């Protein structure tokens, strides 16, 4: 029976923690345009972060955008979003699986597992953001400037490089790390712990559930993790939007952060949080659902609950 099952695996048997395994996890991180699908929420969130008075609500924002630009207007900025978060997802998930094995199984086998999850996710996000940062810079400028800074990924890339050089694509890197590294640490560690708690609450080992049931647990664990992610990373997310939209030429990152904070205050760092909670809860839940469904398709165990 085992031999029959093995022959049915789409790419043959994949040994855990092998190069083929890490490659499969990298591909799994790309699959699923989850960030692109929530572009309408992201567009309104970014604009309200930069200018809280621009719209009175999400619905009024969408009505206003659609009346002026049509339905495609609410998906403005989808191309840098798709490319940027696909590259980031590849690095984030593939590197996370590698660093989790490196830290937890090879370098520090007796280390507390939560510490391993935190360290592996922080390391993975550090590298993943190097791929995301240029696309994030273009996306935010496109979405938060009126009239738009650029109307396409190509136009935005050309304008930034022509006026600021390649360095202009990375001027938001430090704030991006400040937002994404705590976010990813929360996302992965909370997910792993939540999935483990769900299986303990159910009272049966993970292996006793089929693939569909396990991916259902992954979605629930991911949604819960997404709520925590939104809260932890939101102030930095606001600052990234502000920096990309309102940083002056020649101004250092710290000077810009200080100036912007002086304008918006502490309360301004929380503009758009309810929208982001809904967006990231849904987003993170579907990310884990898609990622673990891909792993099941390959004949691999889902993440967490071990």
Are residue 125 and residue 202 in the same domain, yes or no?
no
Check: CB of residue 124 under 8 Å from CB of residue 96. Answer: yes
pLDDT (mean) for 32-38: 72
pLDDT for residue 252 is more than 90: no
Lowest-pLDDT range, 29-38, 45-54, 120-129, 253-262?
29-38
Would you put residue 70 in left (φ > 0), alpha (ψ -120 to 50) or beta? left
Which of 117, 141, 170 is the endpoint of a domain?
A: 170
Are residue 281 and residue 204 in the same domain, yes or no?
yes
**What percentage of the chain has pLDDT greater than the value 70?**
94
Are residue 145 and residue 210 in the same domain, yes or no?
no
**pLDDT, tens digit, 9 for 90 and up, residues 44-77:** 888 887 787 888 888 889 999 999 989 889 999 9
Cα 293 from Cα 290, distance rounded (Å): 5
Cβ neighbour number for residue 64 with a 10 Å cutoff: 16
Are residue 161 and residue 294 in the same domain, yes or no?
no
Are residue 51 and residue 137 in the same domain, yes or no?
yes
| Domain encompassing residue 209 | 187-305
Q: Is 273 helix (H, G, I), strand (E, B) or coil?
A: helix
DSSP H helices, 12-57, are 19-30, 34-37, 39-50
Are residue 198 and residue 129 in the same domain, yes or no?
no
Cβ neighbour number for residue 183 with a 10 Å cutoff: 24
The model carries a pTM of 0.79
CA dihedral 6, 7, 12, 14 (to 10 degrees): 0
pLDDT (mean) for 253-258: 83
Do the domain assignments include residue 68?
yes
9: part of which helix (H) or strand (E)? none
Contact residues for 87 (Cβ-Cβ < 8 A; gap 6+): 30, 128, 131, 132, 135
Are residue 191 and residue 293 in the same domain, yes or no?
yes
pLDDT for residue 6 is more than 50: no
Check: CB of residue 265 under 8 Å from CB of residue 277. Answer: no
pLDDT for residue 7 is more than 60: no
Do the domain assignments include residue 240?
yes
């Amino acid at each position: 029976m085992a031999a029959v099952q093995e022959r049915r695996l789409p790419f043959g048997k994949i040994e855990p923690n092998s190069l083929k395994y890490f490659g499969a996890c990298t591909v799994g991180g790309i699959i699923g345009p989850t960030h692109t699908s929530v572009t309408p929420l992201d567009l309104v969130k970014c604009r309200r972060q930069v200018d809280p008075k621009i719209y009175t609500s999400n619905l009024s924002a969408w009505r206003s955008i659609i009346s002026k630009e049509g339905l495609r207007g609410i998906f403005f900025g989808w191309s840098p979003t798709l490319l940027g978060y696909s590259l980031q997802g590849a690095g984030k998930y593939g590197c996370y699986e590698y660093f989790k094995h490196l830290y937890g199984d090879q370098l520090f086998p007796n280390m507390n597992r939560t510490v391993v999850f935190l360290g592996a996710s922080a390391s993975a996000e550090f590298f993943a953001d190097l791929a995301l940062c240029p696309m994030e810079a273009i996306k935010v400028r496109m979405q938060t400037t009126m009239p738009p800074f650029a109307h396409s990924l190509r136009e935005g890339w050309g304008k930034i490089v022509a006026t600021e050089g390649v360095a202009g694509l990375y001027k938001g890197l430090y704030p991006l790390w400040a937002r994404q590294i705590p976010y990813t640490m929360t996302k992965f560690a909370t997910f792993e712990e939540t999935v483990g708690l769900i299986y303990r609450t159910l009272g049966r080992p993970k292996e006793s559930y089929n693939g569909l049931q396990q991916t259902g647990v992954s979605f629930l664990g991911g949604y819960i993790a997404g709520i925590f992610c939104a809260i932890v990373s939101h102030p930095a997310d606001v600052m990234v939007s502000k920096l990309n939209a309102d940083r002056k030429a020649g101004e250092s990152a710290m000077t810009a952060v200080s100036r912007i904070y002086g304008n918006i205050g502490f309360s301004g760092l929380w503009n758009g949080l309810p929208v982001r909670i809904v967006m990231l809860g849904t987003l993170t839940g579907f990310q884990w659902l898609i990622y673990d469904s891909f792993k099941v398709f390959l004949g691999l165990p889902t993440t967490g609950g071990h």
